[in-house]
Structure 1
């Protein structure tokens, strides 16, 4: 969960999909949730963080946005990216800063919509 100074939530959309979601991804063999996030943020949006920049928010479960009939189980962290600006890379096609009022015109993944967008 990355927010900016205006309280907006950073969401990304993978190529070939329609839903915007938090940046992140699946762990590689033996990788911790924190290490996965650190690697995925660098790969997907060019943001470099350390474990000291992460605050665990816990594990959350929601329907998967891009895989009907499946659920996503996510270890979620609040991340301080300082003054870094995200740049789309790897499989990410778009990124967008959103809040509850300007998110009506895009599809938001169930995990972000249910747990994080309302709190922004």
Structure 2
């Protein structure tokens, strides 16, 4: 799979509860939605290098590449707006340096993993995000409809080896 984007989820334990860091998008694709930290790969950049860079740019925290676990791959197809179609590497981490802070791209918010704001996220998230946050791997393709927001088809893909 050739990646165009990457996404990461920072997980922590607080008072015996698992929490995940999401960010409310302030601009670009998905403005207003809660998303994981991440974005586009730059020319010649690996998904792992890109996600490390994006986490720092979007939330001001530093993650070592070895502290990221590749949890899978997602393919997003937008037949009614081809330029939005993309493949994504999904990562999770429980280790970072610094305290998440708002950037010009995202306003970070911690959520209980059992109470995700799924109604305020891309519609595909409910099909895979809870499992990934619980330790599962994902390999899935989602096709979005004419409204560019609703999933109209989804299918499991073959499992891929971990990305480094």
* Alignment TM class, shorter chain as reference: 0.7 to 0.9
Equivalent in the alignment of 1:3: 11
Q: Given that residues 21 and 112 in structure 1 are in contact (C-alpha distance below 8 angstroms), is that contact kept between their aligned partners in structure 2?
A: no
With structure 2 as the length reference, what TM-score do the two structures score? Answer: 0.59
| Larger relative contact order (CA 8 Å, sep ≥ 6) | 1
Is 2:49 the counterpart of 1:43? no
Equivalent in the alignment of 1:12: 23
Structure number having the greater strand percentage: 2
CA change 1:30–1:102 in 2 (3 A) is closer
Q: Given that residues 25 and 40 in structure 1 are in contact (C-alpha distance below 8 angstroms), is that contact kept between their aligned partners in structure 2?
A: yes
Distance 2:76 2:18 in 1: 23
Is 2:126 the counterpart of 1:113? yes
Using the TM superposition, give the Cα deviation of residue 102 of structure 1 relative to its aligned residue in structure 2, in angstroms.
5.4
Distance 2:124 2:86 in 1: 8
Is 2:36 the counterpart of 1:28? no
CA change 1:87–1:63 in 2 (3 A) is farther
Q: What does the per-residue CA deviation read over 1:11-62, in whole Å, with 9 as the maximum and x for residues that have no partner?
A: 1122141210100000000000000001001110011011111111121234
Report matched runs for 1:27-106 at 5 Å: 27-62=41-76, 69=81, 70-82=84-96, 84-92=98-106, 94-98=107-111, 99-101=113-115, 103=117
Question: 5+ unaligned residues in a row in structure 2: which ranges?
Answer: 1-8, 135-164
- Count of matched residue positions in the alignment of Structure 1 and Structure 2: 115
With structure 1 as the length reference, what TM-score do the two structures score? Answer: 0.78
Question: 5+ unaligned residues in a row in structure 1: which ranges?
Answer: none
Distance 1:71 1:3 in 2: 27
CA change 1:44–1:113 in 2 (3 A) is same
